[in-house]
A and B are shown apart, each in its own frame.
Chain A
Amino acid sequence: MELINFIEINATTAIILILVGFVGGLVSGFIGSGGAFVLTPAMMALGAPGIVAVASNSCHKFPKAMVGVFKRHKYGQVDVKLGLVMAVFAEAGVLFGKHVMTGVRNSFGAVGTDLYVSAIFILTLAIVGGYVYKDYRKLKAMDDLADEKQQLTRLARWVQSVRIPGTMFYSRGAQAEISFLFTIPLGFGTGFLSSAIAVGGFVGVPGMIYVLGVPAIMASATEMVIATATGLGATILYGMEGAVDIRLAMLILLGSLFGIQLGAMGSTYVKDYEVKFTMAAIMLTVLFSRFFYIPGYLNKLGMMEPLQESTLHILKWIGDGVMFVALIVGAYTVISALLRGMKEHRERQSVSARESASD
């Protein structure tokens, strides 16, 4: 017999979940990458097993992503066709990923899923976070004017030049006809990651930017179409395993729906490279935090020499602290971009109003 523990929720836990949800939503609305890379680890830090954190986050992710799609579609940022095409392959990825997760749980229990989720986080955050940071540095070093027309990568230029009859469709985001075959690995990878760590955007958003040549702001908005589909798929699959804690999901939603709308508004005021900086900064901070939890999981699985309780306690405390820094970095970056952008916009509007009045 197997017990999947749902954590006890008291006033403190509820407030933490709402605040964490707010920051997750802010980040998600801004960069389109689910925000779950702060939410999943935060729920695990509160004691939820990996599988429950991923399952409950998926249940929170899909309605939040739906709200994000409507908002950002109003700003003209969503490539619906591309999102739907990738969503189809993403669902296949979700099915496969859920199979792997339940395999891990059956062999190693809930603690096994903690280690599995953390390992995938570390791998993904290191690869994607590092690459996005490199790209941000390159863009920032260029003149601001150069950023107005996004530089396509060589790979994206090649992808947009390939013609495979019977597979082509026009992508509003890429502003080119592309073959859906290129979306298969991207979509499948997004879905797999979505069911492993509830963050598909780590593959989906950079994939759309660097492989398909979609501008970052449109990629992040289009990702929300995929997130809606994969979130719903993962919720159904994990729900059948009894792993969805609706209380966790809805407390996070309470905060994140405040945050995602602010984040979406902030995205209309910033340049492409600012979105990339936010992505990279938070990814690398969360990556750093995950290292401190690994010894604890290995210890519980009996995969390493037993550590002292006090050592495990200190490691977890440091990990939680670094996670907290990641949340603050995320919130600060998005809110300051929004407020600065609104202030500059208002000043520009009053200057042009004064100029037209004096004409």
Chain B
Amino acid sequence: MTRSRAGLGKTLFWGGISALFYFGLFYYAEEFLHLAHTTQDACAVTEGMDTLYYNKTTPDLCVAKGGSFIKGTWWFVFAPIAVAFTLSFVHGVATGLFWDRLGMKAKK
């Protein structure tokens, strides 16, 4: 008895959701970088188009560098974890459907 393959519509739907999440991640890349660098106290220094984040800083050191001091928020650490959980679920479903659609199966 042959097993049926995943429906094309379902595969495309989950693939589309996954693509949307990835687009969102890179559209808001700057914001995510900000969250990553400010889990501890940081000094944001603008150099041209880029913002550099220095850690192990104090307000005085930061002012001397010409940057703006940002107090650290430890629970920003959960931002990448939440993104990782979400994408692993959505993208996991999409990739599973993808291989199933192509007829790749495990040995029973």
Binding site for B on A (CB under 8 A): 1-4, 6, 9, 59-60, 62-64, 66-67, 71, 74-75, 232, 235-236, 239-242, 244-247, 249-250, 253-254, 257-258, 261-262, 264-265, 268-269, 338, 341-342, 345
Contact between A253 and B91, CB atoms less than 8 A apart: yes
Shortest C-beta distance, B19 to chain A (Å), equals 10
- Chain B, range 1-53, C-beta contacts under 8 Å to A: 22, 25-26, 29, 32-33, 36-40, 42-43, 52-53
**Given contacts A253-B88, A257-B95, is CB(A1)–CB(B57) below 8 Å?**
yes
Query: Which 10 pairs across A and B sit closest by C-beta, in order of nearness?
Result: A63-B88, A239-B77, A246-B80, A1-B54, A268-B107, A67-B92, A265-B106, A268-B106, A2-B56, A257-B95
CB neighbours (8 Å) of A264 from chain B are 106
What are 26 A-B contacts with C-beta separation under 8 Å?
A1-B62, A4-B55, A9-B29, A59-B84, A62-B84, A63-B84, A63-B88, A71-B96, A235-B80, A239-B36, A239-B39, A239-B76, A239-B81, A240-B39, A240-B77, A241-B55, A242-B38, A247-B25, A250-B84, A253-B88, A257-B91, A265-B99, A265-B104, A268-B106, A338-B104, A342-B104
Contact between A249 and B106, CB atoms less than 8 A apart: no
- Chain B, range 93-108, C-beta contacts under 8 Å to A: 95-96, 98-99, 104-107
Contact between B106 and A75, CB atoms less than 8 A apart: yes
Contact between B79 and A246, CB atoms less than 8 A apart: yes
Q: How long is the Cα–Cα vector from A333 to B16 in the complex, in angstroms? A: 31
CB neighbours (8 Å) of A9 from chain B are 29
From the candidates A3, A66, A345, name the one contacting B54 in the complex (CB within 8 A). A3
CB neighbours (8 Å) of A64 from chain B are 88
Chain B: interface size category: 35 or more
Q: How long is the Cα–Cα vector from A265 to B99 in the complex, in angstroms? A: 10
Nearest chain-B residue to A56 (Cβ)?
Answer: B80
Shortest C-beta distance, A232 to chain B (Å), equals 7
Q: How long is the Cα–Cα vector from A71 to B100 in the complex, in angstroms? A: 13
Contact between B81 and A67, CB atoms less than 8 A apart: no
CB neighbours (8 Å) of B87 from chain A are 63, 250, 253
Q: Count contacts between A and B, CB distance < 8 Å.
A: 124
CB neighbours (8 Å) of A236 from chain B are 77, 81
Q: How long is the Cα–Cα vector from A9 to B25 in the complex, in angstroms? A: 13
**Given contacts A239-B80, A257-B88, is CB(A1)–CB(B25) below 8 Å?**
no
Contact between A244 and B36, CB atoms less than 8 A apart: yes
**Given contacts A63-B87, A67-B92, A265-B104, is CB(A235)–CB(B81) below 8 Å?**
yes
Q: How long is the Cα–Cα vector from A337 to B42 in the complex, in angstroms? A: 49
CB neighbours (8 Å) of A247 from chain B are 25-26, 29, 32-33
CB neighbours (8 Å) of A60 from chain B are 84
CB neighbours (8 Å) of B76 from chain A are 239
From the candidates A63, A239, A338, A342, name the one contacting B85 in the complex (CB within 8 A). A63
From the candidates A74, A241, A244, A345, name the one contacting B40 in the complex (CB within 8 A). A241
Shortest C-beta distance, A287 to chain B (Å), equals 29
Contact between B88 and A1, CB atoms less than 8 A apart: no
From the candidates B25, B39, B89, name the one contacting A250 in the complex (CB within 8 A). B25
Nearest chain-B residue to A236 (Cβ)?
Answer: B77
CB neighbours (8 Å) of B99 from chain A are 258, 261-262, 265
Contact between A67 and B56, CB atoms less than 8 A apart: no
**Contacts beyond the supplied A1-B57, A1-B65: 18 A-B pairs with Cβ under 8 Å:** A2-B56, A3-B54, A6-B33, A9-B29, A67-B88, A235-B77, A236-B77, A239-B39, A240-B40, A240-B74, A242-B42, A244-B80, A247-B25, A258-B95, A261-B95, A261-B96, A268-B107, A341-B107
